[in-house]
A = this chain, B = another copy of it.
Amino acid sequence: MDNASYAKGLEGVIAAESRICKIDGENAKLYYRGYSVEDLAEHSNFEEVTYLLIEEKLPSSDELARFSSNMRSGRDLAPPILQMIQDFPKTAHPMELLQSSIAYLSGYVKHRIQHSSNCDCKQTLHQVAQICSVIAALYRSRQGEDYIAPRTDLSHGTNFLYMLRGSDPEQYEGEIMDKCLVLHAEHGFNVSTFTARVVASTLSTCYCSISAAMGALFGSLHGGANERVMEMVDAIGKKENVKNWINNALDRKQKIPGMGHRVYKAKDPRATIIENYLLELSEKKNDFRAYEILKDIEKVFRDRMDEKGKPLYPNVDFYSGAVYRLLGIPSILFTPIFAASRTAGWLAHILEQRKDNRLYRPKSLYIGPEPLEYPSP
């Protein structure tokens, strides 16, 4: 196959140039458009970060006000989407519904942009704004509770908690929720972002590209690690059991979820930040169970890894599940929340892909049977 080379899983292949996200694995630093996630988590919010990712710069205060108002006004769901959510089987996973509803939403946007490499889908913010609404509506429908209409006076994170609960969250809860969305908004190339870019390279719609990315995030090799971390916490039960449990698991060569990262050679900067949120929430709610178990897992695990000369550190998924749980969010919504946040990054990648587009068209190597006769009857 003329000069082509086989790269299983596309390992070692650079598929695109990108200006969106810099990951400095050696120093455990992560930057969106040049700004460190530490700064963004401390000073910014999800709406501003969405603007930064999509518009390639921080907004002025006027620009942010217009952008927020636009995003907030798009939060509410059309009745057919609500119907679809209510009819969705209770046993199915919310990620299936999310993938489905985002493609469906594509039909509901007046200014949906498609089939153009010069698209102005920066105006098409519904997919960022409405995903949290779909998640909240689905959760309440499963609980047999009514849909709570969104409010426009609340930040993205606070409004999400409000739509889940039907009552005002505490201010610190809304802030932590919003900052968690900031910290998950973008992380360079990974299989869901790559999927979004592949679909966008056909000039399909932004919605259809994001819907496809959600299908990838649903895969157990990609999303869902923070759910598994909390299953581990529950299996361990109390702090006193950590050492035995982890040592047994490692002796059985079991993988410890939330530990290790392909890129970071030290503790994931997002894990460091989220650990602080967890401590803050544990103090406010006077519930340290998960925090203490997680800290002990980290310690026991790192001691074992250090002995082996294979240092491994917590990644973003290690502490986030415990934060969400203290915010009253059930595990099944963890991956959907990741999707709601990452949609900002996906959209930035879709826009970047379209700016200098080339259809993704790798080859395959045929290793099947040579021509066969169709059997005579």
Please determine whether A198 and B208 come into contact, CB atoms closer than 8 angstroms.
Answer: no
Write out the residue numbers on chain B whose beta carbons fall within 8 Å of the beta carbon of A87.
80, 83-84
Interface centre among A36, A80, A199 (most CB of B within 10 A): A199
Interface centre among A108, A194, A215 (most CB of B within 10 A): A215
User: Complex formed: what's the CA distance from A363 to B6 in Å?
Assistant: 15
Q: How far is the CB of A104 from chain B (nearest CB, A)?
A: 4
Selected interface stretch from A218-226, A288-296, A307-315: A218-226
User: Complex formed: what's the CA distance from A188 to B368 in Å?
Assistant: 12
Residue of B nearest to A40 (CB): B374
User: Complex formed: what's the CA distance from A139 to B223 in Å?
Assistant: 36
Specify which of B7, B17, B33, B102 is in contact with A6 (CB 8 Å cutoff).
Answer: B17
Selected interface stretch from A19-27, A126-134, A154-162: A19-27
User: Complex formed: what's the CA distance from A10 to B10 in Å?
Assistant: 9
Let me know if A283 is at the binding interface, CB within 8 A: no
A residues 1-59 touching B (CB-CB < 8 Å) = 1-23, 29, 31, 33-36, 39-40, 43-44, 58
Q: How far is the CB of A200 from chain B (nearest CB, A)?
A: 8
Please determine whether A16 and B8 come into contact, CB atoms closer than 8 angstroms.
Answer: yes
Write out the residue numbers on chain B whose beta carbons fall within 8 Å of the beta carbon of A213.
212
Write out the residue numbers on chain B whose beta carbons fall within 8 Å of the beta carbon of A189.
361-364
User: Complex formed: what's the CA distance from A219 to B113 in Å?
Assistant: 12
Let me know if A66 is at the binding interface, CB within 8 A: no
A residues 46-77 touching B (CB-CB < 8 Å) = 58
User: Complex formed: what's the CA distance from A103 to B375 in Å?
Assistant: 37
Please determine whether A1 and B22 come into contact, CB atoms closer than 8 angstroms.
Answer: no
User: Complex formed: what's the CA distance from A95 to B158 in Å?
Assistant: 35
Q: What sequence of 0s and 1s flags, for each residue 343-376 of chain A, a beta carbon within 8 Å of any chain B beta carbon?
A: 0000000000000001111111111111111110
User: Complex formed: what's the CA distance from A12 to B362 in Å?
Assistant: 6
Please determine whether B374 and A43 come into contact, CB atoms closer than 8 angstroms.
Answer: yes
A residues 113-160 touching B (CB-CB < 8 Å) = 114-115
Please determine whether B100 and A104 come into contact, CB atoms closer than 8 angstroms.
Answer: yes
Please determine whether B215 and A209 come into contact, CB atoms closer than 8 angstroms.
Answer: yes
Write out the residue numbers on chain B whose beta carbons fall within 8 Å of the beta carbon of A341.
none
Please determine whether A18 and B362 come into contact, CB atoms closer than 8 angstroms.
Answer: no
Instruction: Provide a sorted-by-A list of 30 A–B residue pairs whose CB atoms are within 8 angstroms.
Output: A4-B12, A5-B12, A6-B17, A16-B362, A19-B368, A31-B371, A33-B368, A33-B372, A34-B371, A35-B374, A36-B371, A43-B377, A99-B103, A103-B103, A115-B220, A189-B361, A191-B201, A191-B202, A194-B360, A194-B361, A195-B195, A202-B217, A202-B221, A203-B221, A204-B218, A205-B218, A208-B214, A208-B215, A208-B218, A221-B359
* Interfacial residues, chain A to chain B (CB-CB below 8 A): 1-23, 29, 31, 33-36, 39-40, 43-44, 58, 80, 83-84, 87-89, 91-93, 95-97, 99-104, 106-108, 114-115, 188-192, 194-195, 198-205, 207-209, 211-223, 262, 358-375, 377
Question: Can you add 11 more A-B contacts, CB < 8 Å, to A84-B104, A115-B220, A203-B219?
Answer: A10-B15, A13-B13, A17-B365, A18-B364, A18-B367, A20-B368, A83-B83, A104-B104, A189-B361, A189-B362, A262-B361
